[in-house]
Amino acid sequence: MSPGLTEFMSLDFPALLAVVLASVSCGLLGNFLVLRRMSLMGDAIAHAVLPGLVLAFLVTAAFGYPEHARDPLLMMGGAALSGIVTVVLVELIQRLGKVEKGAAMGVAFSVMFALGVLLLEQAAARQVDLDADCVLYGQLESVMWLPTDPTASYFSWSGIAEMPRQVSTLAFIAFAVIIFTTLFYKELRIAAFDPGLGKTLGFRPQVMHYALMIFVAAAAVAAFEAVGSILVIALLICPAATARLLTDRYFTQIGLTVIIAIIASVGGYMLGTRGPLWIGLDQSVNAAGMVTVTLGGLLAMAIFFSPSHGIIARSMRRFRLSVSVAREDLLGLLYRLEEHGAPGMPRRQVAAAVGPWLAAQVASRRASQRGEVNSRNGLVELTAKGRTIAQSLIRSHRLWESYLVDVLGLRPDHVHDTAMRLEHVRDAQTGSRLMPRVEATIDPHDRPIPSNGPSAPAPTANDDAKSDGHA
């Protein structure tokens, strides 16, 4: 085996495996925290397991078995216990202290964490093998796989048996989390969406809730040593929050969290250990920190670029809507001008007349592309096609005005702006159902309501309009 590969298998591979397993377990569980809008509970538990963990170290040291302090079963037991204690504590503070849930969680986890820090000092004083840096930031770099017999393959059973303890603990937890979320797929879903119905159907949402909290605590402890207690929170929340921006499907949501967790952990690890060298720095950065930054980066990208919920997609949709409204407003305006006998509108006034400048520019270009308006001698005017559309708009506008005045009893001078918004709802489905059926031919401002038929004779207010040369 080449020295490079040996180095990779001994140093990078176990660390990568650890961070992938940690982020997949936390990411999967995080779904249920994010979807139930209780992300802070994950935060609370991730912090609150600290005293339990340190206590386990102190107790085993006191009884003279310090080597058992990192026994996975003992750690998981401690974690489950602190998880339940936290949940119960939060509920007690909420009920007895009469404060809102967020406040109760804030109090519970900061106090538990502080207790853990105090205990940690004691542990340091007694020279127990546990230090604050490791607890806070994790020690991904210290996860090493060094089989006793270096000549033997890394892929032999004896080699695998010598996998670092953190990795085997995480593998066990990841396996348990995957079994839990698969087996109770439907139960977790109903407990998250509608616990009331879940209870009447006999699915015990409260039990599912506690089981979930125990798993969160166990995953937090297992991930603790790899990425530290603070970064665990990002592993719990970021993948699920990112996935939520990318899909509206439950199964896809859960699948995406796994993919995002893997991408962020592999990408972040590589960036952390190799990235600085690529750009010529001579020292790598904390890999766990880089994984978290990557998670944050992916979330930020989803916030901006998600095709359905992203800021960019949403502003594009809003812009398209305002263009279409501006286009219709332009047609309506030209129609009204024709009614008054004006030949058209000077090009330069269009933007000021129909809404935001950019939308108006695009709208007027689109209207002429579609052959709805013509531009002649600097004047914008309706074509026959444009007039038909304008007519149906004006009809809609004036019918709404009549409805608002005659049926709802609003004052005639109050209804124009409302009608200006409502007139744009004209698609066949909603429009025909919602369009008020007012038997009026004259609107509250004494303007004729155009008929619904195909291109009725244009403007009636002033006969000059026709002689002014409209085709």
Chain residues in the site for other proteins (CB under 8 A): 35, 37, 183-187, 189-190, 192-194, 196-203, 244, 247-250, 252-253
Give residue 243's Cα distance to chain centre.
Answer: 6
Please, which residue, 36 or 447, has the CB nearer to other proteins?
36
Query: Torsion angle of alpha carbons 175, 180, 183, 186, nearest 10°?
Result: -140
CB 396 within 8 A of CB 438: no
Cβ at position 312, least distance to other proteins in Å? 20
Distances (CA, A) of 116 to 22, 44, 96, 228: 22, 13, 24, 14
Contacts of residue 56, defined as CB under 8 A and 6 or more positions apart, other chains included, come to 69, 74, 75, 78
Please, which residue, 247 or 462, has the CB nearer to other proteins?
247
CB 263 within 8 A of CB 324: no
Please, which residue, 163 or 299, has the CB nearer to other proteins?
299
Contacts of residue 305, defined as CB under 8 A and 6 or more positions apart, other chains included, come to 312, 313
Phi, psi of 374 (to 5 degrees): -120, 150
Question: Could you please report the per-residue DSSP string of 240-257?
Answer: HHHHHHH-S-HHHHHHHH
Sort strands 379-382 and 345-346 into parallel, antiparallel or unpaired: antiparallel
Please, which residue, 91 or 194, has the CB nearer to other proteins?
194
Among left, alpha and beta (phi > 0; psi -120 to 50; other), residue 64 is left
Contacts of residue 444, defined as CB under 8 A and 6 or more positions apart, other chains included, come to 401, 402, 405, 406, 412, 415
Cβ at position 469, least distance to other proteins in Å? 48
Please, which residue, 187 or 406, has the CB nearer to other proteins?
187
Please, which residue, 244 or 398, has the CB nearer to other proteins?
244
CB 117 within 8 A of CB 230: no
Cβ at position 299, least distance to other proteins in Å? 16
Please, which residue, 97 or 371, has the CB nearer to other proteins?
97
Cβ at position 9, least distance to other proteins in Å? 39
Cβ at position 185, least distance to other proteins in Å? 7
Q: Which of 265, 309, 306 is nearest to 288 (CA)?
A: 265
Distance CA 147, CA 264 (A): 28
Distance CA 241, CA 415 (A): 43
CB 172 within 8 A of CB 72: yes
Cβ at position 28, least distance to other proteins in Å? 15
Please, which residue, 15 or 190, has the CB nearer to other proteins?
190
Cβ at position 76, least distance to other proteins in Å? 22
Cβ at position 461, least distance to other proteins in Å? 38
Contacts of residue 205, defined as CB under 8 A and 6 or more positions apart, other chains included, come to 190, 191, 195, 198, 199
Cβ at position 202, least distance to other proteins in Å? 5
Please, which residue, 139 or 253, has the CB nearer to other proteins?
253
Please, which residue, 102 or 371, has the CB nearer to other proteins?
102
Cβ at position 183, least distance to other proteins in Å? 5
Cβ at position 124, least distance to other proteins in Å? 45
Half-sphere exposure for 34 (CA within 13 Å, toward CB): 23
Please, which residue, 101 or 385, has the CB nearer to other proteins?
101
